[in-house]
Amino acid sequence: MSESQQGMSAAALEAFFRREFPHSTMVVESVGGLGARLRQPVDTAHLRPGGTVSGPTLMALADAALYAAILGEIGQVALAVTTSLNVNFLRKPAADCAVIAECRLLKLGKLLATGEVSLYSEGSDAPVAHAVGTYAIPPRS
């Protein structure tokens, strides 16, 4: 199996994200077992009027968690791309703590992967959002 077909570790994903998305402050906490956990520290750049974490911040974290879970299984396939992302906002996230994304892949095929992500304010068991997304995986050459 080539390196690109082996799953990536949390450390390898973290390095990949830092290189490819240098503006991102997300942290890959764990990956594997068809899942991933990411942490988004929150500062004023992530807030919307009303003092809550913005929808785009939550959506980006959900999308990144799906990407991380997939690459954790199939390896560094940079051109795996989002084909759909549906987010349900459930409650107001806390503005003074990080947001945690916990992703679980529901199906990992050769060309498509589908997963779900639950987002939480750090320290709370109540989800602030739930997302379901699908990624297209390019054919292996």
In a domain, 141, yes or no: no
Total number of domains constituting the chain: 1
In a domain, 89, yes or no: yes
Model pLDDT, residue 106: 98
Domain carrying residue 12: 3-136
Residue 87 placed within a domain = yes
SS3 assignment for 18-87: HHHCCCCCCEEEEEECCEEEEEECCCHHHEECCCEECHHHHHHHHHHHHHHHHHHHHCCCCCCEEEEEEE
Cα separation, 28 vs 31, in Å, equals: 8
| pLDDT tens-digit series, residues 75-133 | 999 899 999 999 999 999 999 999 999 999 999 999 999 999 999 999 999 999 999 99
pLDDT level of residue 51 (50, 70, 90 thresholds): confident
List CB contacts of 37: < 8 A, sequence separation 6 or more.
28, 29, 30, 31, 65, 100, 101, 102, 103
Least confident of 3-17, 38-52, 108-122: 3-17
Q: Residue 4 pLDDT > 60, yes or no?
A: no
pTM: 0.94
Query: At 14, is the pLDDT very low, low, confident or very high (cuts 50, 70, 90)?
Result: very high
How does the average pLDDT of the chain come out, rounded?
94
CATH number at 55 reads: 3.10.129.10
Please give the distance of CA 95 from its chain centroid, rounded to a whole number.
19
> Who contacts 44 (Cβ-Cβ below 8 Å, separation ≥6)?
none
Question: Is 10 part of any domain?
Answer: yes
Residue 122 included in any domain = yes
Does residue 125 contact residue 91 with C-beta atoms inside 8 Å?
no
**Residue 5 — pLDDT band, cuts 50, 70, 90?**
low
Q: Is residue 103 part of a domain?
A: yes
Lowest mean pLDDT across 2-16, 23-37, 49-63, 88-102: 2-16
Structure-token pair, residue 116:
């779900």
